[in-house]
Structure formats: structure tokens, C-alpha cells
Amino acid sequence: MEYVVAISGLDPSGKAGLLLDCCVMRAQGIWAAGIASALTVQNFRVAKGFTPVETKIISDQLKLLFESDLPKAVKIGMLPNAEIAETIFSALEGKNIPIVLDPILSTTDGLPFIEPQACIRILEKFGKLITVLTPNWDEVKRLSEIRKFVNVEIPAFAQFAFSTGIKAVVFKGGHLLGEEIVDRLVIHDGTEKEYARKRLKFKPRGTGCALSSAITAFLGMGETIVNAFTFAENFMDRFLTNPLDAAR
């Protein structure tokens, strides 16, 4: 069985998190399995809270899922605490599977998830397992403050990421101002690639989740990091203008 896995918070609205991740992955033509890291209290507009899933349940789910067939790639989204992060990455250690980590620190409307300091510790400990890190610029800024970078810029953060063993970083540009949104891929071997699109007149939710999930799907189908990034961005062009058609 060829499949990919999404490990994310379960947003009941489906606008972000696990439901959206699986929808996007399957839209690329590969089966998606899903494991909830937390249950969130959200509707289509606001987030009010969350409850982490019991660590043993996540551990048992991963163990049994991997007993049948190993996934071709894994996307990790919301990590509600360090214990759950440790459980997930420990289960993936030694599996040699492409892993995409979307370091979600809070919801769009500001509900905090994991603390930036805890996120930094996770990156330092498990960076060697991560193929692609996909932060937005708000997350880059908050994580950079912990590392006390003088300037919040791509080279400084990318070098930190590469020092942990992370192979590539996709800087998602939706939080920056301007008429264009520019996403930038930086790989540890010096390869860089940009993808630009016109900013929409409204602010959609879940775009970061969708991009990370699409990248994961293409990595799971054997694409290179550069191709996975490019194909995922092409999908996002369709997804942003017509989510339902793009996800069919």
C-alpha cells in the first residue's frame, strides 16, 4: 500500500489541520492516512481551545500503522507539546522517510499552540529527520527571537535550520506585505527557488497547511525537493481560486 501520513490537529471546520491535509494529499493522487495530535475547538472564524490527544494513543496508532507498510512521506503539523513531538519523531527515527514539518505556533487568529522555545528544542533534537521545514514569516520571526538573531532574514534562519540537519526550508510569504506573495525554497546544498503569485483580496485560512501537505504528497511520489515545491505551488494556484475543484 503506497500512502502518506498527515499528523496534525483536528480542526472541525476542515479549513486547516488534519482534514484539510488529507484532502490536499489525496488530490495529488496518493492515499493519505491521518493521525490527530490534538482536538481543537474551532469554527469557520475563530479558535477557542484545544486538547492534546493522549500520547499512548498516538504511539499505538503509529506503531500499528507502520506494521503493515511504511508511508512514503509524513507531514507533521500541530505539535501541542514536547512529549507528543518526542513520541512522533521517535516513531519515525531510522525509517528514512521524507518528513515535512510545518512549525505551527498558533492559529491565524492568535490561539497559541506550542511555545517557540519548545519548538526550537524539537528542531535541535530532531532536525536530522526533517526533510523540509515550512515556516511562515511570523513563525520565522518568533523562532529567530529565541535564537537571538540580530536580523530576521533568510540566511540566518536557514543556516540555523541546516545546522540541525534539516535539508530544506520553505519560507512562506503570505504574512508579508505587498501585492505579491513570494514563497522561497532554500536547500542545504545552496539551491534556491522562488514562486510568486498575486495576493488575493481576501485572507484564506489553511493555505500554509495546504502547501506543506502538497509538498509532502509529491515527496511521497518520489519527486525531488525542488519539483515537490514547484508542483505544490502550481496546485496552490488552483486551490486558492477554487478549493473544491482543486481538491477533487
Q: What is the DSSP string of 202-240?
A: S--SSHHHHHHHHHHHHHHTT--HHHHHHHHHHHHHHHH
Domain 3-246 in CATH 3.40.630.10 = no
Give the three cell numbers for residue 17.
Answer: 489541520
Tell me the domain boundaries of the chain.
3-246
Model confidence at 244: pLDDT above 90:
no
Concatenating the DSSP letter of every residue in 177-194 gives -SSEEEEEEEETTS-EEE
- The end-to-end CA distance of the chain, in Å, is 21
Give the integer Cα–Cα distance in Å for 243 and 248: 9
Task: Kindly report, residue by residue over 27-75, the tens digit of the pLDDT.
Answer: 999 999 999 999 999 999 899 999 999 999 999 999 999 998 999 999 9
195 or 245, which is more confident?
A: 195
Q: Which three cell numbers stand for residue 3?
A: 500512502
pLDDT tens per residue across span 155-195: 889 999 999 999 999 999 866 656 788 999 999 999 999 99
Cα separation, 61 vs 57, in Å, equals 6
For the stretch 92-129, pLDDT in tens is 999 999 999 999 999 887 889 999 999 999 999 999 99
- Under a CB-based contact definition with an 8 Å cutoff, are residues 113 and 81 in contact? no
pTM comes to 0.94
Higher per-residue pLDDT: 150 or 73: 73
